[in-house]
A and B are shown apart, each in its own frame.
Chain A
C-alpha cells in the first residue's frame, strides 16, 4: 500500500488520464482535462520524496476515477462542434475505404 509508485506506474496513470480526457465529447472539457493532466504531471515530475509521491499518486488515482465517470457521462450527450474544431477529426478515416 505504502510502496512508492514506480516510473512505469506513473506513466500508466498518465496514459489513462490522456485516454479518458480525449474521449470527452465537448471541446472545452476535453481540452481542459488534457491541459490539466499535462500541467499536473509536469509540475510534479521532479518530486522524489516518497511520502509526497504517494500522496500525489493516490490523489491522481482518485481524480482519474472522477475523470472516467465524467468522460462517460459526457458521451451520453451530444454537443455541437465549435467553430475552432476541425470537421474531420482524423484524416485517416476520410481516406478511401
Chain B
C-alpha cells in the first residue's frame, strides 16, 4: 500500500528533498491535498535475489553433499542429502540471513529451495 504511494510521490520527494517539511507542503500547493510522505522500509527483495541468497546460504552450509548445483528445484533431502536435523539447521541459517522467523508448521513443509524462496517472498518481513 505504502509502496505505491512512495512510487507515485518519489519525483516530488526528490525535488523537495532539501526543503524543510513546511516549505514542501506549501510547494506542493493548496490545490491538491497530499499526505506527508513517509518512508517505511526498502522495497521488498525480489524472487531472483532471494533465490541467489538462499543458494549462497546453502553453499556456505558445510554439510551439503552435492555442492555442485543448487537450483530452485533442488530438494534438501533428495538432492542435498540432508536429514531432518540438517534441514532444520539450514532453515535457521536462512532465517538469520533474511531476518525472519519461519514457524514450525511452515518449516515442516519446506522441502525444496523453490518452496523456501516462495515462502520468503510471501513474508513481508523478509529483507
- Interface of A toward B, CB cutoff 8 Å: 7-8, 11-12, 14-15, 18-19, 22, 38, 41-42, 45, 90-92, 97
Docked CA distance A18–B88 (Å): 9
Smallest CB-CB separation from B95: which chain A residue? Answer: A19
Interface size for B (C-beta < 8 A) is: 16
- Please, what's the 1-or-0 string for B84-117, where 1 marks a CB less than 8 Å from any CB in chain A? 1100110110001110000010011000000000
Taking CB atoms, residues of chain B closer than 8 Å to A11 are 84-85, 88, 104
Query: B residues near A, CB below 8 A?
Result: 42, 53, 56, 83-85, 88-89, 91-92, 96-98, 104, 107-108
| Chain A residues, CB < 8 A from B53 | 92
CB of A56 to closest CB in B, whole Å: 14
Q: Which residue of A lies closest to B84 (CB)?
A: A11
Alpha-carbon separation in the docked complex, A42 to B86 (Å): 10
B84/A7 in contact, CB under 8 A: yes
Starting from the known contacts A12-B104, A90-B96, A97-B42, 12 additional A-B residue pairs (CB-CB under 8 Å) come to A7-B84, A11-B85, A11-B88, A15-B91, A15-B92, A15-B104, A15-B107, A18-B88, A18-B89, A22-B96, A45-B85, A92-B98
